[in-house]
């Protein structure tokens, strides 16, 4: 594969992850992740696994209705010279609601910017780092 084809594949992985939110599909969201990856957020670093993460992400997706996901910036994709590693930077705005109690939902919105680092594992891209920053917004923002 040439670099443009590799970038197109990474862009497809990015789009699949966003679509998984709308379809409430935790399995599809995690499909491109390595069996273990580093999660960098809220001032900390944590090694996660698909087995550990799947139930929590599934519960989050089941409790959350994503009304809109807007890309603020087009994804920025970079490949290493030997195409064995890559990173993708994304920035989105999300409008959603979430179940907070029986028959009660709370509207919320946030911006998220992140960098995902990928390595080639057996010829396929696998996400090995997810570094995300969330900024929750008040109703007037």
Residue pLDDT, tens place only, 30-85: 999 999 999 999 999 999 999 999 999 999 999 999 999 999 999 999 999 999 99
List the one residue out of 110, 106, 99 whose CA is nearest residue 136: 110
Q: What is the CA radius of gyration of the chain?
A: 16
**Which CATH number applies to 3-137: 3.20.20.70, 2.170.120.12, 3.20.20.100, 3.10.450.50?**
3.10.450.50
10-22 b/e (C-beta count within 10 Å ≥ 16 → b):
beebbeebbebbe
Q: What is the pLDDT of residue 15?
A: 96
Q: What is the pLDDT of residue 11?
A: 97
Give the rounded percent of residues in the chain with a pLDDT score beyond 90: 91
């Amino acid at each position: 594969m040439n670099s443009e084809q590799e970038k197109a594949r990474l862009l497809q992985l990015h789009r699949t992850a966003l679509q998984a939110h709308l379809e409430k599909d935790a399995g599809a969201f995690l499909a491109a992740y390595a069996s273990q990856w580093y999660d960098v957020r809220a001032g900390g670093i944590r090694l996660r696994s698909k087995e550990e993460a799947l139930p929590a992400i599934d519960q989050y997706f089941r409790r959350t209705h994503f009304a809109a996901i807007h890309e603020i910036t087009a994804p920025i994709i970079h490949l290493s010279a030997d195409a064995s590693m890559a990173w993708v930077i994304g920035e989105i705005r999300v409008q959603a609601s979430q179940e907070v109690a029986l028959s009660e939902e709370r509207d919320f919105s946030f911006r998220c910017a992140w960098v995902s680092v990928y390595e080639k594992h057996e010829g396929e891209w696998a996400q090995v780092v997810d570094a995300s920053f969330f900024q929750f917004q008040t109703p007037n923002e």
